[in-house]
Amino acid sequence: MQETRHQFRELLKGLEQQTLSALDLVIGQLDRALEAVSYQDVELAAMVVADDDRIDGRYLEVHQGVLSLLARQAPVAGDLRIAAALLHVIRCVERMGDQCVNIAKLVPLSGYEAPKDKDILDAIERMGQAARTQVGEARDAFAGRNVELAKDLVRQDAEINALNRKIFRRAVEVGDDLEMREWAMFMILVARCLERIGDNTVDIAEQVVFVVTGLFRELADASATSSESHLAGA
Amino acid sequence: MIPPETTSQEQVDMSTSGGRSEQTSGDPSERSSGAPSEQSQAAPDMSALGVREGAGHAIKVAGLHAYYGQQHAIKGINLDFPANEVTAIIGPSGCGKSTMVRCINRMHEEIPGARAEGSVTLDDFDVYAPGVDVTSVRRLIGMVFQKPNPFPTMSIFNNVAAGLRLTGTKADNLRERVHRALRAVGLWNEVKGRLDAPGIGLSGGQQQRLCIARAIAVEPEVILMDEPCSALDPVATLKIEELIDELKERYTIVIVTHNMQQAARVANSTVFMLDGEVIEHAPTNTIFTTPHDERTERYVTGKFG
Amino acid sequence: MSAAERIQALAPVSGRRRYTDTMMRGLLLAATIVALIPLVLVIYYLIKRGVGSWGGSFFTSDPNGNFFGNPGGIRSALLGSLEIVGLATLIAIPIGVGVALYLTEYGKQSLFANVVRYFVDVMTGVPSIVFGLFIFIVLVLAHVGGNFTAWKGSVALSLLMLPIVVRSAEVVLLLVPSELREAALALGAPRWRVVFRVVLPTALPGLVTGSLLAIARGMGETAPLLFTTAGAFGLTFSLSQQMNALPLQIYNDILSPRNVVVDRAWGAALALVTLVLILNVVARVASQRSRMA
């Protein structure tokens, strides 16, 4: 004997699976974009740009699916919160995908044989790793409805923000070489994209808390943390 | 229990509220339109009933137990129904929602072998106090049933007047009160030309509105509704829901419904009952977005019964 | 298989079914005809033998006991029947409806109510002659208010009619939807008002039909009248005297050696049946009219 509203539950689960696997797609995109940055791989970068169509398509699918679910199945309570959260999360996914594309687009612009500053490159790599970890954890937090993990993402995001500021300062001091300066500017832009990806994972974390508790709270106020750390002189 | 100044106040207001004359030519709702269309449907209009003195009336249920013979149907319920609000009662079949509501106007004890204990207070008056006249209680707490039940041998007019006549209420302004009640439920335009036609000749939705007019013609404080839209089509249902929204300005309303979307649409607060007990009582918004009890969550999301 | 093929495949079976169907129809029709034959024959005989007496002073003159000459008509019998049954109705119907009201509205399933129902059912099976004998012993032999009188006949008839009225009234009252009672109670009406202003008016058409059927039954009973009213020839309107009635008249006349008297009996029988028929038609028309209202 099937549980009541079997079809509805299957639909909702399906939409959640689609969203979560879209996060996996983002992780893949991020990996390849970072690799393209590290090795100046223009072809890989082009692949990343082309593959974003998949993420955009997934966004439309989930969006349509949730609308249809709302119209036909009238979800309430916990199911309604999940549906609303999925809309939010898939939006974050789409934005993250766009950020990966932005990163990829910066690769050919930064030159074929660009001079590299080790500090900046290190920081970018660490940022990339952190961002990748955060996306993975956001996915796990949502799938497991793990509020603790979600809150931890805020803490991790602070590190990305710190690295972003560090890269900026380093780029300012990077030297007089024109090509070096140019390259450093592009790295700032890359860092910014990674920082945005981090913010999106925090958004997803907020949705996890919302689904579980029904409360929506901003887990981190961007303006507050940056001013705090300014004062702390990190 | 109706304070005498209310009645005379209403009579005074009726004469000064202007435009509510009996002749159709003097009716402002017709004067404003060009050619009065026989089937035009006026929105329910509570102002037709005149000004009402004083705040609404709240109901407090305390320690209510109800039995059908040996079967313990209601197991100790405490509930507050705030004045001038719509409270919906939801729950699976057999949870006792209809029983509980029928205990409020003491209809439960009309069933052979059924009894109830506890207290149900309308403001400060306990309807279960010893020596209380049950018929007086029911004049203050009206009821609308699932299946529209106008009296088949009576005309539309007589149906609405039935409440006053059956209770032996002397009313000098009987015609006025009937007309006002019909206006208040938005039936006036549809039936004003055929008040002598039989009550059962109307459509289902109109019959139900007729029953509501009949209930409010005796000027109760509270209106209980036991699945009033179950037997109606969706359009008629929405009209009744709109009417309920208007009615709450004057009355306190308790509505039992098995249609959760209806509870979500009309009620200020919702009560979830299960097996004769109240599981959760919260603002409707809370029940349908973040219910506190696991069982409420499972019921409203359709995980059971 | 296509739809057409499936229908083709079904065809032979439906042929067999059609045959069975026609057979059953034929059998049922035959049974109906068999049942109708005696009914038609009775009516035929009644009309054939009775209609000849109708006419002239059949309805305007009283029967006389003469052995020769004009035997007279059936006026006193006709009017007597109407009077006696009229009084019986006045007794049986209010009491019968009252009992039915008690059973449905107040007694319901209580022990007392069930006992009453049981006894009423028993009463419907009591042979009518027993009612006549009962009244004979209790009222006639005891010389209560005279010997044989019309009103004692009415009492006997009312005993006969009572259980019919009670049973049919109870059925009709139970058919009144409980929602109507609930609605009236919920308005704050006391129970007696609910009964008299809502339940009774709603049940009225059915009550009328049931009463008319009881009256029709009362019209035709002979045995109770034999020991109570005993019959008379002359026209009398006083209920405290012996009175004529159609069944009594028929009973007296049918064994007469005079043919004209026997014919009169047939005429009276036809008149009785016609009267009952008229009552039935009136009952049906009345109930249909109120159902359509």
Chain A, chain B: beta-carbon pairs less than 8 Å apart: 36
| C201 shares contact with chain B (CB less than 8 Å) | yes
pLDDT of residue B3: 44
Q: Is A5 on the interface with B (CB under 8 A)?
A: yes
C-alpha–C-alpha distance, residues B134 and C185, integer Å: 10
Residue C49 lies in a domain: no
Contact between C204 and B153 using a beta-carbon 8 Å cutoff:
yes
Residue B170 has pLDDT above 50, yes or no: yes
Average pLDDT over residues B148-158: 93
What confidence score (pLDDT) does residue B10 get? 38
Residue B286 lies in a domain: yes
pLDDT band at C94 (very low <50, low <70, confident <90, very high): very high
Structural domains in chain C (count)? 1
The predicted pLDDT at position B233 comes to 93
Task: Tell me what the pLDDT averaged over chain B comes to.
Answer: 84
Q: Say how far apart CA C254 and CA C256 lie, in whole Å.
A: 6
Across the interface, of A5, A8, A77, the residue whose CB is closest to B297 is: A77
Query: Which of B240, B234, B231 lies closest to B204, judged by CA?
Result: B231
Alpha carbon distance B61, B104 (integer Å): 8
The two structure tokens encoding residue C88: 């019986």
**Domain span holding position C154:** 75-292
With 60 as the cut, is the pLDDT of residue C98 above it?
A: yes
Domain span at residue B93 reads 59-144+252-300
Nearest CA in chain B to C183: B149
Please say if the pLDDT value at position B272 is more than 80.
yes
**How far apart are the C-alpha atoms of B229 and B237, rounded to whole Å?**
5
The pLDDT, as a whole number, for residue B41 is 57
Check: CB of residue A190 under 8 Å from CB of residue A100: no
Residue of C nearest to B104 (CA): C186
- B237 in any annotated domain: no
Distance in angstroms (rounded) separating the CA atoms of residues C92 and C158: 5
Residues contacting residue B239 through CB under 8 Å, at least 6 positions apart: B186, B205, B209
**Complex-level ipTM:** 0.81
Distance from CA of A86 to the nearest CA of B (A): 15
- CB contact under 8 Å between C202 and B153, yes or no, is yes
Does C179 contact B at CB distance below 8 Å? yes
| Residue B50 placed within a domain | no
Flag whether B80 is in a domain: yes
**Domains of chain A and any CATH numbers:** 6-232 (1.20.58.220)
- Output the furthest CA–CA distance in chain A (Å, rounded): 74
Q: Do A79 and B296 touch (CB under 8 A)?
A: no
Residue C89 lies in a domain: yes
Tell me how close the Cα of C9 comes to any Cα of chain B, in angstroms.
43
Q: Would you say residue C41 lies in a domain?
A: no
pLDDT-derived band at C291 (thresholds 50, 70, 90) equals: low
At C143-170, the pLDDT tens digits run 888 888 888 899 999 999 999 999 999 9
Which CATH number do you get for residue C212?
Answer: 1.10.3720.10
**What pLDDT digit, counting tens, does each position of B17-49 carry?**
333 333 334 344 433 333 434 345 567 777 776
Contact between B5 and B53 under an 8 Å Cβ cutoff? The reply is: yes
**Total structural domains within chain B:** 1
C189 touches chain B (CB under 8 A): yes
Identify the pLDDT of residue C106. Answer: 87
Residue C84 lies in a domain: yes
pLDDT tier for residue A58 given thresholds of 50, 70 and 90: very high
Do C188 and B112 lie within an 8 Å CB cutoff? no
Coil vs helix vs strand at B89:
strand
Chains B and C touch (3+ CB pairs under 8 A): yes
pLDDT at B18: 37
Q: What is the residue-averaged pLDDT of chain C?
A: 88
Element spanning B80, H or E: strand B71-81
Confidence grade of residue C76 (pLDDT, cut at 50, 70, 90): confident
User: Does residue C3 lie within any of the structural domains?
Assistant: no
Q: What is the pLDDT of residue A2?
A: 60
Domain assignment of residue B158, yes or no? no
- Give per-residue pLDDT as tens, A69-102: 999 989 999 999 999 999 999 999 999 999 999 9
Q: In what order do the strands lie in the sheet with B59-68?
A: B71-81, B59-68, B114-122, B125-126
Note the pLDDT of residue C258. 85
With CA atoms as reference, report the closest residue to B95 among B264, B263, B255, B271.
B271
**Stretch 68-127 of chain A: residues touching chain B, C-beta under 8 Å:** 74-81
Q: Tell me whether residues B135 and C201 touch, CB distance under 8 A.
A: no
- Residues A111, A183: contact at Cβ < 8 Å? yes
Name the closest residue on chain B to residue A6, using Cα atoms.
Answer: B303
pLDDT digits (tens, 9 = 90+) for B253-267: 999 999 999 999 999
Neighbours of chain C (3+ CB pairs under 8 A): B
**Across residues C94-121, what is the average pLDDT?**
93
Mean pLDDT within A107-120: 75
Question: Which range scores top for mean pLDDT: B20-34, B75-89, C250-264?
Answer: B75-89
Tokens of C102: 């008690």
Residue B6 resides in a domain? no
- What is the reported pLDDT for B1? 41
Q: What is the CA radius of gyration of chain C?
A: 25
Angle at alpha carbon of residue C291, lines to C293 and B215, rounded to 5° = 65
The answer to whether the CB atoms of C187 and B142 lie below 8 A apart is yes
Does some domain include residue B44? Answer: no
Residue B295 has pLDDT above 90, yes or no: yes
Lowest mean pLDDT among B166-180, B289-303, C58-72, C216-230: C58-72
**B183, part of any domain:** no
Candidate ranges A33-42, B284-293, C4-13, C71-80; pick with highest mean pLDDT: B284-293
Here the tokens at position B44 are: 């329910």
Q: What is the pLDDT of residue B33?
A: 39
Section A17-27 average pLDDT = 96
Contact list, A7 vs chain B (CB under 8 Å): none
The structure tokens listed for A17 are: 């699976």
Is it the case that residue A229 has pLDDT exceeding 60?
Answer: no
Residues from chain B that touch C185, judged by Cβ atoms under 8 A, are: 107, 110, 138
What pLDDT is stored for residue B275 in this prediction?
A: 94
Does residue C253 lie in a domain region?
A: yes
Q: Give me the helices (H) in chain C, please.
A: 3-50, 75-101, 111-125, 128-135, 150-175, 178-186, 191-193, 200-220, 223-226, 246-253, 259-292
Q: Which residues in chain A are contacts of B296 at CB distance < 8 A?
A: 77
> What whole-number distance in Å separates Cα of residue A188 and Cα of residue A36?
16
Read off the CATH number of the domain in which B105 is found.
3.40.50.300
